[in-house]
Amino acid sequence: MQEEVNALINTGTWSFVPKSSSQNIIGCKWVFCIKRKPDGIINRYKARLVAKGFNQQEVFMQQPPGFEDSTKPFHVCHLHRSLYGLKQAPRAWYDKLHGALHSFGFFGSPSDHSLFIKKGPFMIFILVYVDDILVISPNFAACKQVIKQLSSMFAIKDLGPLHYFLGLEVKRSSSSIFLSLTKYILDLLSKANMTKAKPCSIPLRTSKLDHDSPLCQNASEYHSLVGALQYLTWTRLDLSFAVNLVCQYMHNPRISHFQAVKRVLRYLKGSLDLGLWFSKCSTPPTITAFSDTDWAGCALDRISTRGYCVYLGNSLISWSAKKQPTVARSSTEVEYRSLTNTASEITWLYNSIPESKADEDAVYISLDPDKLERKARIESKLTDQENQLFTVFLRANKNVFAWSTEDIQGIDPSIICHHFHLDPIEKPVI
């Protein structure tokens, strides 16, 4: 608490002024949290002062509880800087940070407002999530220089090389990086009282769930568990189809749906250490995407499921599996829609690459309706040299994404993990 107050005072967040009846004085409170390491050990205790305020032009706040100035008992804090809890705080913080990074030579990515890029001898990327910042560069000295510049303008704490961020565990070797959510899964199993559950080999026994079973007595628990599972899909592509399926019944969950959720948790119990590996490329990487659909796969509304996964070189960087918004009249129509969605994702990723100079008019899609009518699968490739989007048709057994839009019953899970580059941390370093 003292460190938080000292930091606010040193940055000139407020000054004391006499209390007046014309002032609309807002309150404040302390918010406490415990920061833990990936193994669950307490890393530090964190206290944050939060204002109980809304959008105002001039803000007066009560003195922080426990830190009232005894020499000025009838004074209030006149805020000169935004504080957590004020509605204008996010905008004020972003504007301040944006201005600082711009003065350091960074520019905002046109595809992602939380990404800032600086060109030079070494590319530097800054990714911002509220007040948590990742500084990324192939050169360690370049990262330290940016952190030093930020320290001159903000009260920051350098936590060193990235190991744990928003539940995401990061491990690295000389040639690769491993991302996983092991601790998050363990916490989720504990929350669901399934730490001693029997593991299973696949996340779903069947996609044909019983929709006539009794309603869940505790729908809020279903909502909580399914919401937590959605976050897991950030590193567990093998869960995409199963999580997408159980998410469709959030409004009216039944016991059979809850049983499906528990089976997904049992699958997680047996695959705690699976995660994504990102390896170095020996040649300039290209963007490759796989698209797939399950036409009229839902027995209730006959809406198709579409999905895609995108690779940068050999590394999986983006994926999605969800139901299409409307009913498709034919397999040709559903494939076109899925390909359009995939092409949009590729274009967004391509425009996010600083060195790319893609022209929207040069990005095109070539399709063969005859092959689409035979429900062939589509592989989309974006070539950097000609800035064009090409499509190649694949058989279902050669499409690495087919198992994320359809039921995977009877398929060896190791095959799926191999295609998605999902491996345990014990995987030998390449």
Mean pLDDT across the stretch 5-23?
Answer: 83
More confident residue, 107 or 407: 107
- Residue 394's identity, in one-letter code, is L
More confident residue, 153 or 86: 153
Instruction: Give pLDDT, residue 220.
Output: 92
Q: How confident is the model at residue 57 (pLDDT cuts 50, 70, 90)?
A: low
pLDDT single digits (tens) 141-152: 999 999 999 988
Instruction: Give pLDDT, residue 414.
Output: 62
pLDDT single digits (tens) 363-393: 333 333 333 333 333 344 434 334 456 666 5
pLDDT single digits (tens) 304-314: 778 888 888 88
Tokens of 331: 């397999």
Mean pLDDT across the stretch 111-121?
Answer: 87
Distance CA 422, CA 414 (A): 9
More confident residue, 386 or 233: 233
Instruction: Give pLDDT, residue 53.
Output: 64
What Cα–Cα distance (Å) separates residue 321 from each residue in 314, 325, 405? 20, 13, 6
pLDDT single digits (tens) 187-207: 999 999 999 999 998 888 766
Distance CA 115, CA 135 (A): 10
E-strand ranges in 55-184 read 60-61, 75-79, 107-108, 115-118, 124-129, 132-136, 164-165, 168-172, 176-180
List of long-range contacts for 318-325, beta carbons under 8 Å, 24+ apart: 318/345, 318/349, 319/233, 319/237, 319/240, 319/401, 319/404, 320/240, 320/345, 321/240, 321/241, 321/244, 321/404, 321/405, 322/244, 323/244, 323/248, 323/298, 324/293
Distance CA 340, CA 291 (A): 10
Distance CA 47, CA 216 (A): 39
Q: What is the DSSP letter of 20?
A: -
Instruction: Give pLDDT, residue 145.
Output: 93
Distance CA 355, CA 125 (A): 13
∠ CA 211-215-217, rounded to 5°: 150
Mean pLDDT across the stretch 420-425?
Answer: 65
What are the start-end ranges of the H helices in 104-218? 140-151, 182-191
Instruction: Give pLDDT, residue 191.
Output: 92
Q: What is the DSSP letter of 406?
A: S
What is the percent of the chain with per-residue pLDDT over 90, rounded to a whole number? 17
* Cα–chain center distance at 272: 19
Q: Helix or strand or coil: residue 271? A: coil
Mean pLDDT across the stretch 64-77?
Answer: 88
Mean pLDDT across the stretch 332-350?
Answer: 81
Torsion over CA: 232, 234, 240, 246 (sign): positive
Instruction: Give pLDDT, residue 373.
Output: 36
Whole-number average pLDDT of the chain: 78
Instruction: Give pLDDT, residue 227.
Output: 92
* Strand 25-26, strand 60-61: pairing: parallel
Q: What is the pTM of this model?
A: 0.69
More confident residue, 353 or 55: 353
* Lowest pLDDT segment from 28-42, 224-238, 356-370, 398-412: 356-370
* Residues 6 or more apart whose Cβ sits within 8 Å of residue 303: 296, 297, 323, 324, 325, 326, 327, 328
What is the percent of the chain with per-residue pLDDT over 70, rounded to a whole number? 78
Specify whether the CB–CB gap between 294 and 406 falls below 8 A.
yes
Torsion over CA: 222, 227, 230, 231 (sign): negative
More confident residue, 130 or 103: 103
Which residue from 325, 387, 356, 366 is spatially nearest to 111, judged by alpha carbons? 356
